[in-house]
Amino acid sequence: MPPRKPLVKPGPALFSNFMDISMSFFTASKIPGKHLLGAVILSATGLGTGLSATAENLTGAWQMALSQNKQVEAARQNQLAALKQVDIARAARLPNFALSAEYIKLDSAPTLSGNSLAALPNAPPGQDMVSVPFEMQIAEDKAMLYSAVATLPLYTSGRISAGIKAARAQAAASLDDHQQATLDIKLAVAEAYIQVLKITELNTIARAHIAALSGYKNDVGNLHLQGLVSRNDELMASVALSNAVQGGISAKNQLAVASARYNQLLNRPLDTTFTLEPMPVHAMSLDDIQTLTARALQARPELSALAHKIKALGFTAKTIKAVTRPQVYLSGTYHNLDNDLLLDDEVLTYGVNLVWPIYDGGITHHRGGELQRQAAALQAQLDDYQQLIELQVTQAWLNLDETQQRIRALGQVLEQSAENLKMTQNRYREGLVSSSEVLEAQNLRQQSLGNHASASYDSALAWIRLQRMTGEL
């Protein structure tokens, strides 16, 4: 195809929007110094132009989520409940004291009947005594009885001490569960935070792309009216703009969804507007996979929780076994019989009681076996979870390494795409290339900007996930 006639009539206004917006994004993506992710500070409902004094950062978002999140609150309440179980187990060592009162009504008053020997009146000396029948009421037909009973365990074959240890182990497991819930919420908030930043920057790139193509379409339309370009160039510009608008609509919807998810994690209305601070880019971890895995196996609360639950089951089994052994109690009892016919209607008793269950049909034996099976199941989960953590750390480390390599590779692509766009535009002015090549160069520029932004935010997310996998988030 012979070279097209150079375009000289439109003047310097041609491609002004095309170049300015493209080059501005190139400059923004090369921020030096602290290497902040995202040159554009964002709002959840629009694109901000500067960093607001009330902009939220990730630390503040974590604090807000942890103070209001229902899952964390549920884990905290479970932890408090487990601590109460410790208090209950310790209270078993203390004396028990009980008061009781009972009102009784009998169909007849309790009465003694029998025969007694008695001498007849005026009987001569030496005469035998005769048997005389008698009846004697010993209580009223109604009475109010009172009693007080106190018991103190002296020896329980280790039942109480094992119960305390089991409760403490379960409380430690609940603390681990609370830490796990905290880490999970922090990871979810960080993912949502980074997702909003990422989609906002992609949305900004899409809007800039639309603005550039809109300006290009107008310029090509003017050139077509002057007879300098064909109708085909104008149609290509229109189609490219329509495709860009469609992509912008999708990006805007994704931003709305990501913002709603972020608000939901912070337990506030889904349509709450907010501004987020950029995130710093972290370099590759200096530790190797083996070192990180070793730290994860020590720090992950999931492993600690399972270990504490296994320990709690072991102590609970000892508690059940101790029930079948001798139990010694010191007891004291006071009774008030409310009987005026008795010389003393108050009775006080005290002593040492021995209780030794000999046979319970095998219930205790079976309960002990049940706990052993439960402990074995948790041990299998623990062993499997250790392997899972090794895999999680490896995947997180490799993903972070991948994002770092992508950023390094895309650093050159940004420069090359900007130079390619500039050269293509110059050649188009001279009539050496077609409109399709200009549009392709602009698409490549937008794609390189989007890929670089995605790689940067993917790197931040990979770093956060690596911290979560090692239990250090």
Q: Please give the full DSSP string across 164-217, using - where no structure is assigned.
A: HHHHHHHHHHHHHHHHHHHHHHHHHHHHHHHHHHHHHHHHHHHHHHHHHHHHHH
Within 10 angstroms of residue 67's Cβ, the number of other Cβ atoms is 11
- Binned at pLDDT 50, 70 and 90, residue 41 comes out as very low
Residue 219 is predicted with a pLDDT of 79
Give CA–CA dist 251/176, Å, rounded: 39
Highest mean pLDDT among 115-124, 276-285, 291-300: 291-300
Residue 10 is predicted with a pLDDT of 39
Higher pLDDT, 412 or 73: 73
- Binned at pLDDT 50, 70 and 90, residue 131 comes out as confident
pLDDT tens for residues 54-86? 788 999 999 999 988 888 889 899 999 999 999
Residue 379 is predicted with a pLDDT of 92
- Binned at pLDDT 50, 70 and 90, residue 35 comes out as very low
Q: How many CA atoms lie within 13 A of 467 on its CB side?
A: 16
Quick check: 429 pLDDT over 70? yes
- Binned at pLDDT 50, 70 and 90, residue 382 comes out as very high
What the block records as the tokens of 268 is 């506030």
Give CA–CA dist 212/347, Å, rounded: 102
Residue 12 is predicted with a pLDDT of 36
Residue 283 is predicted with a pLDDT of 67
Higher pLDDT, 312 or 6: 312
Residue 52 is predicted with a pLDDT of 45
- Which residue ranges form the domains of the chain, and what is each CATH number? 16-101+149-469 (1.20.1600.10)
How many helices (H) and strands (E) in the chain? 9, 10
Percent of the chain topping pLDDT 90:
39
Cβ partners under 8 Å of residue 348, min gap 6: 332, 333, 334, 335
- 1-15, 45-59, 223-237, 417-431: lowest mean pLDDT where? 1-15
CB 57, CB 196: distance < 8 Å: no
Return the DSSP state at 119: P
In sequence order, what DSSP letters do the residues of 38-80 get, joined into one string?
A: -SS-EESSSB-SS--TT-B-HHHHHHHHHHH-HHHHHHHHHHH
Residue 463 is predicted with a pLDDT of 92
Give CA–CA dist 473/29, Å, rounded: 28
For the chain, what percentages of helix, strand and coil (3-state, to nearest 5) are there? 60, 15, 25
Residue 228 is predicted with a pLDDT of 78
Percent of the chain topping pLDDT 70:
87
**Residues 272-281, mean pLDDT to the nearest whole number:** 85
CB 120, CB 130: distance < 8 Å: yes
- 25-29, 66-70, 214-218: lowest mean pLDDT where? 25-29
Give CA–CA dist 198/33, Å, rounded: 20
What the block records as the tokens of 23 is 């080059």
Residue 31 is predicted with a pLDDT of 31
pLDDT tens for residues 460-469? 999 999 999 9
Mean pLDDT of the chain: 82
pLDDT tens for residues 132-163? 787 777 777 788 888 999 999 999 989 999 99
Give CA–CA dist 174/436, Å, rounded: 63
Q: Is the pTM of this model over 0.75?
A: no
